[in-house]
Amino acid sequence: MPLSLTAVFADVPDPRIETANKLHPLTDILVIATCAVIAGADGWDEIAEYARTKEPFFRRFLELPNGVPSHDTFERVFAKLDPDAFADRFGRWVGALCESTGLVHIAIDGKSARRSAQGTFTGCLHVVSAWATESRLILGQRSVPEGGHEITTVPDLLAALDLRGAVVTLDAAGCQKAIAEQIRAQGGEYVVCVKGNQKGLRDAVGDVFDMAGEAGVGHGREEEQYVTVVQDPDGWSDVGAVALVCRERRVKDQKNEGTQGCRTMKW
């Protein structure tokens, strides 16, 4: 049975000092803000407006001793809140929710906020997210720390997720042996991209297809994609298959061929 938001947020550390001015329980603030954002609220004013319009609903399961919080209260609390503590509890809640819906696919991806300069590998704020594609929910997020890289942040994000029965997809940045081993250790399967930045691995994948005798040819259309899969490749521990995705285009009677990407996966 899925966890309730009030239960999952109950032990989040409150960053506020105990004074007479603390009018709203932290759990109330977190639950309202989470519900508002899920409903499409964008910004503190819209979250506060959502709280006011839905106050009778929230009074059914929240304390609200002094009514609903103002937009200033939401902003101040979240500015001081431990983001990892919130992300861990939120991920736990969404994980329980997705388990009840039969989640099968989790996509790991990183995005940069170009206008927010920070000392990361991209030179700005970079956030790695776990996206439940079928449920259309973000299971968790981690920001890359100052001086850090996405590769070192992905394992922390994965550790907060229940991967049993899930297929985790990652782009070339996540194509790391340790990450694949972690996914398998947590009960999940994986699909990862292999690109030219990992020449040794890419060449090894190519050798698999050479040994399998796959040549891969087009059929004369203007643009065509084709996929070749080799299952249970020799010498690859704990890898169920490797797949080669290729593209062929004809532009002014000139044929251009390219490899879109290679993926290794455990089935």
What is the layout of strands, in order, in the sheet containing 241-251?
137-143, 124-132, 105-117, 167-170, 189-194, 254-265, 241-251, 223-231
Query: 189, 219, 250 — which closes off a domain?
Result: 189
**Arithmetic mean of pLDDT, 145-172:** 84
CA distance 135 to 94: 10
Residues 134 and 211 in one domain: no
16/87: higher pLDDT: 16
Domain ranges, residue 34? 5-81
Residues 157, 149 contacting (CB under 8 angstroms) = no
Query: 54, 81, 108 — which closes off a domain?
Result: 81
Where does the pLDDT of residue 236 fall: very low under 50, low under 70, confident under 90, or very high at 90 and above?
confident
Q: Does 59 score more than 80 pLDDT?
A: yes
Instruction: Say if 194 falls within a structural domain.
Output: no
Q: What does the mean pLDDT of the chain come to?
A: 79
195/104: higher pLDDT: 195
167-170 vs 189-194, strand pairing mode:
parallel
CA distance 156 to 212: 37
